[in-house]
């Protein structure tokens, strides 16, 4: 039996195209489509079977992505959710993750990566696309770093604050350090966690249970 997938996006052409694509994947089948969060919630209440994964657009009319994810997380905690966005807006995406999303994908994602993301979210409950973009130096050191991950107290504080919707400037003010110092914490954690973006850092921190949201 195929894994049931739902999609919510207010652009009908994208919604239909994505449905067609996912239906070509051997393990997945789109069973529910909606144009906004409210329509999605309405359809979930009468669905004969709930989808196991839902892809949710960040920006939608009537009920946007963050509110939609929060409601689904409350009412249907077993459903896994993936945020979809046109932009790399760290603050919004982190808010989606805190609301209950298991992963974040850009809408121009390659079909093979999309299939991999669906498989990992279903099997492991989380997907971090940053792992596809590591350079060779990080690849070579990743195994050793994973075995001997040590964070300083300041890095732990920074990591927790980075999982909020604070800007880096606000984080620096909160920690009472210079912005350059915060940049140093960020680069150190990117290296230690083998990621290349703030969103990737947050997802990896959640996966390793280094932070609590």
Q: CA neighbours within 13 Å on the CB side: how many for 212?
A: 0
In 3-state terms, what secondary structure has residue 56?
A: strand
Question: Per DSSP, what are the bridge partners of residue 3?
Answer: 28
What letters, b where the CB count within 10 A reaches 16 and e where it falls short, cover 13-31? eebeebbeebeebeebebb
Kindly report, residue by residue over 50-104, the tens digit of the pLDDT. 999 999 998 888 998 999 999 999 999 999 999 998 876 778 888 888 889 999 9
Kindly report, residue by residue over 118-127, the tens digit of the pLDDT. 999 999 898 8
Kindly report, residue by residue over 157-186, the tens digit of the pLDDT. 999 999 888 999 999 999 999 999 999 999
pTM for the model: 0.77
Residue 148's pLDDT is what?
61
Q: 119 to each of 3, 45, 116, 127, 187, how far by Cα in Å?
A: 9, 25, 5, 9, 30
Residue 137's pLDDT is what?
41
Pairing, β 28-34 against β 53-57:
unpaired
Residue 37's pLDDT is what?
94
Residue 170 burial (CB count, 10 A): 13
* Alpha-carbon gap, residue 131 to 48, rounded angstroms: 36
Residue 193's pLDDT is what?
87
Query: Domain 132-207, what architecture?
Result: Orthogonal Bundle (1.10)
3-127 in CATH: which number?
3.40.50.2300
The domain ranges of the chain are 3-127, 132-207
- Same topology, domains 3-127 and 132-207? Answer is no
List of residues 6+ apart from 87 with CB closer than 8 A: 106
Kindly report, residue by residue over 127-159, the tens digit of the pLDDT. 887 654 444 344 444 444 445 678 899 999 999
Pairing, β 80-85 against β 3-8:
unpaired
What letters, b where the CB count within 10 A reaches 16 and e where it falls short, cover 62-100? ebbbbebbbbbeeebeebbbbbbbeeeebebbbbbbbbb
- The continuous run of DSSP H or E covering 130 comes out as none
Residue 131's pLDDT is what?
55
Kindly report, residue by residue over 2-60, the tens digit of the pLDDT. 999 999 999 999 999 999 999 999 999 999 999 999 999 999 999 999 999 999 998 88
């Amino acid at each position: 039996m195929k894994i049931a997938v739902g999609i919510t996006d207010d652009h009908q052409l994208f919604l239909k195209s994505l449905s067609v694509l996912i239906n070509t994947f051997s393990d997945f089948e789109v069973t529910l489509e909606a144009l906004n969060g409210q329509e999605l919630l309405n359809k979930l209440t009468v669905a004969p079977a709930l989808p196991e994964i839902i892809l949710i657009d960040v920006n939608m009319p009537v009920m946007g992505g963050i509110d939609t994810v929060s409601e689904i997380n409350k009412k249907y905690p077993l459903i896994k959710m993936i945020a979809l966005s046109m932009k790399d807006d760290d603050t919004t995406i982190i808010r989606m993750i805190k609301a209950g999303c298991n992963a974040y994908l850009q809408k121009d994602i390659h079909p093979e990566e999309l299939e991999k993301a669906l498989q990992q979210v279903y099997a492991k409950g989380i997907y971090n696309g940053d792992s596809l973009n590591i350079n060779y130096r990080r690849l070579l050191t990743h195994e050793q770093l994973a075995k001997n991950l040590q964070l300083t107290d300041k890095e732990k504080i920074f990591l927790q604050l980075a999982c909020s919707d604070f800007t880096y400037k606000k984080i620096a003010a909160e920690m009472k350090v210079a912005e350059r110092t915060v940049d140093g914490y960020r680069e150190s954690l990117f290296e230690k966690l083998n990621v290349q973006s703030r969103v990737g850092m947050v997802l990896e921190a959640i996966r390793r249970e280094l932070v609590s949201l």
